[in-house]
């Protein structure tokens, strides 16, 4: 069964070890922020720092790539990657971000607010949301370290598939920030499969 | 008063808003992992993702650079930077890291264990330690995203000075991982000034 996250909103759900999570961009050019916590103890969470360290790269993409927890355990492994461009540097957009980054736009609670609401039933607070794995997000980094947020290169129907290595709680969004998705707000589809 | 952190250990202390923290490499070529939490509520912590986002760079260095919290408030501002090379990508080394990264070396509890012990009196748990700001750590990133841990370029007596923008609890280490500091384990000095 495929589920749809409406534009500028989020969802949270369980994925058991061995199951796969498919994240699909149904219209193309959209971003989905992904966070994960161990089902048995939400003190264990998906960590960009550990993933960069053990993978020895900031480009977290491609089949076989492992996403690690703060306790140094594999949480998710990419098993199919139609796009190959994702970001693990930037935090979910938030109400506080708008006046800093988009001062001329009306503020939105953003992916952080959406994740916090969706994850609340699992006991995950807003403060406990770490830097997200931003599926399909296109953040080039120049040789001097400067970064920019560019439109995603994902096309309609492109997917990322990840295998859960632990029983997980996953938070997922259809991103709320204009720059991340080329200026339009679109849905994200997801499916959990055995 | 200057305090010394012995090799492969850590410390935690308070820094009030407006005070400065000086981190000095007394022998040269050493790394110090720095984490910070708001004194009034440790749910607010120093965030690499927010700092990359608002600074629009992964090279967090140089006078005037702001380090941001997960709640999008400035926590620390660099007021003097003798070295200009630091890392905010990688997590503190940990006991679990050794078999993955240094399989031929005896495991050590690492900066994560040292930070957890030092921060425990303030209520900060091991799981709540985020990706650290790794003072003097030299992590070049190649155009394809691949990174490597190289010896620091800091010389004996080089300092980084940061102004606290909030009342903070700071955790600080003399790093325990051989690759981070060119293969030797050395102390780190720190001082809080009004």
CB contact under 8 A, A53 and B96: no
Q: Is A136 left (phi over 0), alpha (psi -120 to 50) or beta?
A: left
Rounded to whole angstroms, how far apart are CA atoms A82 and B115? Answer: 40
Please check the confidence at residue B101 and state whether its pLDDT lies above 90: no
Tell how many helices (H) and how many strands (E) occur in chain A.
3, 11
Per DSSP, the residues of B100-120 read HH-TTS----HHHHHHHHHHG
For A56, nearest residue in chain B (alpha carbons): B147
Please check the confidence at residue A13 and state whether its pLDDT lies above 90: yes
For A91, nearest residue in chain B (alpha carbons): B49
Task: Give burial (CB, 10 Å; 0-12/13-18/19+) of B127.
Answer: middle
Looking at beta carbons, which residues of chain A come within 8 Å of B101?
53-54
- The shortest C-alpha distance from A23 to chain B (Å) reads 22
Per DSSP, the residues of chain B read --EEEPTTEEEEEEE-TT-EEEEEESSBS--EEEEEEETTEEEEEB-HHHHHHHHTBS---STT-EEEBTTS-EEEEEEEESS---B-SSPPP-TTHHHHH-TTS----HHHHHHHHHHGGGT--GGG--S-EEET-B--B-TTSBB--B----BTTEEEEEEESS-EEEEEEE---GGGGTT----EEEEEE-
Interface test with B, best of A42, A49, A54 (most B CBs within 10 A): A49
Helix (H) or strand (E) holding A62: none
For B148, nearest residue in chain A (alpha carbons): A56
The pLDDT mean for chain B works out to 95
Looking at beta carbons, which residues of chain A come within 8 Å of B72?
94, 96-97, 100
For B91, nearest residue in chain A (alpha carbons): A49
Rounded to whole angstroms, how far apart are CA atoms B124 and B104? Answer: 31
The total of other beta-carbon atoms located within 10 Å of residue B182's CB is 17
According to the model, what pLDDT value does residue B107 have? Answer: 85
The residues, ordered by sequence, that sit 6+ positions from A102 with a Cβ below 8 Å of its Cβ are: A177, A178, A179
Over residues B37-61, the mean pLDDT reads: 97
Parse chain A into domains and list their residue ranges: 3-193
Q: Are the C-beta atoms of residues A107 and A98 closer than 8 Å to each other?
A: yes
Pairing of strands B168-174, B41-45: unpaired
Please check the confidence at residue A163 and state whether its pLDDT lies above 90: yes
CB contact under 8 A, A100 and B54: yes
According to the model, what pLDDT value does residue A113 have? Answer: 93
Q: What percent of chain B is predicted at pLDDT more than 70?
A: 100
Q: Which two tokens stand for residue A92?
A: 């979910």
For A37, nearest residue in chain B (alpha carbons): B127
pLDDT-derived band at A135 (thresholds 50, 70, 90) equals very high
According to the model, what pLDDT value does residue B177 have? Answer: 82
- The residue count for chain B: 194
For B96, nearest residue in chain A (alpha carbons): A72
Please check the confidence at residue A21 and state whether its pLDDT lies above 90: yes
Q: Model confidence over A51-109: pLDDT tens digits?
A: 999 999 999 999 999 999 999 999 999 999 999 999 999 999 888 888 888 888 888 88
In the DSSP assignment, the letter for residue A127 is: G
Please check the confidence at residue B178 and state whether its pLDDT lies above 90: no
- Alpha helix stretches (DSSP H) within chain A: 48-55, 97-101, 110-119
CB contact under 8 A, B58 and A89: yes
Of the candidates A132, A119, A122, the one whose C-alpha atom is nearest the C-alpha of residue A88 is A132
Rounded to whole angstroms, how far apart are CA atoms B93 and B109? Answer: 8
Please check the confidence at residue B124 and state whether its pLDDT lies above 90: yes
Q: Which two tokens stand for residue B90?
A: 């990688």
Q: What percent of chain B is predicted at pLDDT more than 90?
A: 85
Rounded to whole angstroms, how far apart are CA atoms A113 and A9? Answer: 9
Q: Which two tokens stand for residue A35?
A: 């966070």
Q: Model confidence over B55-64: pLDDT tens digits?
A: 999 999 999 9
According to the model, what pLDDT value does residue A30 have? Answer: 95
Q: What is the ipTM of this complex?
A: 0.94
Looking at beta carbons, which residues of chain B come within 8 Å of A100?
54, 72
Please check the confidence at residue A181 and state whether its pLDDT lies above 90: no
Give residue ranges of A with CB < 8 Å to any B CB: 43-45, 47-50, 52-54, 56-59, 70-73, 89-91, 94, 96-97, 100-101, 125, 127-132, 141, 143-148
Helix (H, G, I), strand (E, B) or coil at A163: strand
- The shortest C-alpha distance from A51 to chain B (Å) reads 8
Which of B50, B52, B146 is closest, CB to CB, to A56? B146
Of the candidates A113, A100, A108, the one whose C-alpha atom is nearest the C-alpha of residue A33 is A113
Burial A18-46 (b: 16+ CB within 10 A, else e): eebbbbbbbbbbbbbbbbbbbbeebebbb
Please check the confidence at residue A177 and state whether its pLDDT lies above 90: no
According to the model, what pLDDT value does residue B150 have? Answer: 94
According to the model, what pLDDT value does residue A59 have? Answer: 97
Give residue for tokens 């394809």: B144
Please check the confidence at residue A41 and state whether its pLDDT lies above 90: yes
Give residue ranges of B with CB < 8 Å to any A CB: 43-45, 47-50, 52-54, 56-59, 70-73, 89-91, 94, 96-97, 100-101, 125, 127-132, 141, 143-148
Please check the confidence at residue A137 and state whether its pLDDT lies above 90: yes
Q: Greater confidence, A132 or B105?
A: A132
Pairing of strands A20-25, A158-164: antiparallel
Q: Which two tokens stand for residue A52?
A: 């960069």
Which of A43, A53, A148 is closest, CB to CB, to B56? A148
Q: Are the C-beta atoms of residues B152 and B83 closer than 8 Å to each other?
A: yes
């Amino acid at each position: 069964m495929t589920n749809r996250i409406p534009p500028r909103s989020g969802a949270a759900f369980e994925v058991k070890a061995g199951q796969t999570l498919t994240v699909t961009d149904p219209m193309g050019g959209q971003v989905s922020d992904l966070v994960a916590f161990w089902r048995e103890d939400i003190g264990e969470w998906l960590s960009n720092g550990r993933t960069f360290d053990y993978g020895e790269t900031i480009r977290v993409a491609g089949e076989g790539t492992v996403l690690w927890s703060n306790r140094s355990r594999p949480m998710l492994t990419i098993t199919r990657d139609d796009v190959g461009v994702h970001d693990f540097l930037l935090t979910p957009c938030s109400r506080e971000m708008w006046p800093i980054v988009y001062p001329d736009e009306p503020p939105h609670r953003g992916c952080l607010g959406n994740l916090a609401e969706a994850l609340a039933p699992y006991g995950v607070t807003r403060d406990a949301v770490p830097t997200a794995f931003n599926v399909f997000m296109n953040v080039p980094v120049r040789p001097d370290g400067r970064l920019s947020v560019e439109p995603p290169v994902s096309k309609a129907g492109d997917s990322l598939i990840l295998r859960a290595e632990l029983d997980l709680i996953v938070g997922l969004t259809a991103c709320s920030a204009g720059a991340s998705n080329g200026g339009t707000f679109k849905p994200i589809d997801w499916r959990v499969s055995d």
